[in-house]
Structure 1
Amino acid sequence: MNLRCMIIDDEPLARKGLREYLADTPGLELTGEYEHPAAALPALSADKPDLLFLDIRMPKINGVDFLRSLPHPPMVIFTTAHSEYALDAFELNVIDYLVKPFSFERYLKAVTKARDFAARHRPEQPAADHFFIKCDNKLEKVMYDDILFVEALQNYIAVHTKQRKFVTYLTFKAMEDYLPVSHFIKVHKSFIVSLNKIDSIDGQDVFVAGHQLPVSRSLKDEVMARVLQDRYLRR
């Protein structure tokens, strides 16, 4: 799932840092950046971004009051140098609260929360346990829980499951957009993996049911954050 994002922050360096983070995060599209909430209002109505990175202390109106004024706000991640607004923020059901300066890893955790929230509340995604694809002129039923990974094959894709491999005439992008982001992750330009089927990680590879799959360098931080979350035990 792609998320359309907007930045509102009166600090040019803060906007630049976020812009660079977004550019390094596949699946996020920056629709615009603004130094003041009033300047962003027309774009909020016209572009309807999915996710707003919003500063708090800004001239004339702060981010908390601005968010309260929006009748139908998008998902919001506060980005601020001040921690005292955290209670206000979470009363407004924001996705996350990032205190500047924040690392790419911390930013990525916030983005992952936004993606998971969007996947859970996406209206066009019915609560289903399967879908159908066309293979050799026959419609084949594929159970979500059976999928190990999806592989790009030029003009085709291969859906590898516990039982067999389905080869179908679909684009990799179409499959990436269709699969629920809460359960699947793109690890390479040619591979999408079921998160709960990853058995181990070794360097730049993940292992899924005996298959060794590469992880792109640009995606490794996101993959590690999504796979490990809070389930990594260490000394």
Structure 2
Amino acid sequence: MKKCLIIDDEPLARSIVAEYLQSFPELEVVQECGDGFEGVKAILQHQPDLIFLDIQMPKINGFEMLELVEQAPGVIFTTAFDEYAIKAFEANAVDYLLKPFSKERFEAAVKKWLAQRSAAATTPAAHQLEEVTGKQPEEHLRIVVKTGNNIRIIPVQEVLYLEAYDDYVKIHIRDGVFLKKKTMSYYEKTLDPKQFVRVHRSFMLALSQLTRIEPFEKDSHVALLKSGVRIPLSKSGYTRLRSVLGI
């Protein structure tokens, strides 16, 4: 028996998926979830083989939810918005069902997943969802992180600076540091360049936190933040920062 989750904020949409799944007795719906927070907890609890996932949901969207899951199951997106199809397939989704979808189209998607499993195809993993471009507007305004069993949404206005840390990025805010399995290049492309500047291979700072630029050793410089933190500036980062500041 394969375990499934249905994650969608619309009760009618969840009931349709559950009804269509009755054609597949080998698949068991272990839980229905109404938002991404609930979805993350259900995935950790049940370790499902397959999830049916909406994209536009309250609190966090479907893509943000998947970023919080280290071992993502197979994913079939079920959404009313066709503009995210390319992003979904870049994330190695099994299929992308555009609402309202027919029973035949739904069954074709499930059969595709079953065929992939029988062929020992690789299911989407969390790292495959990390650097997908074409983010939704709200994702430029916040960073969603997971701390233990809790999920926190950090508005970008609270970010002091970002720091590369092996395969992660440290998100520094006033009341703590959070790890996100992303790259600095990802945030360089995602965050507003008028608010955040990559000043070093390992650092990106919020311009609102900058108090002054100071000389350092041998023609190098550091940026002093309001918190007292000193950020090293590479030569290209120093030039970039001066350009943004208009000096």
Q: TM-score, normalised by structure 2?
A: 0.47
Radius of gyration: which is bigger?
2
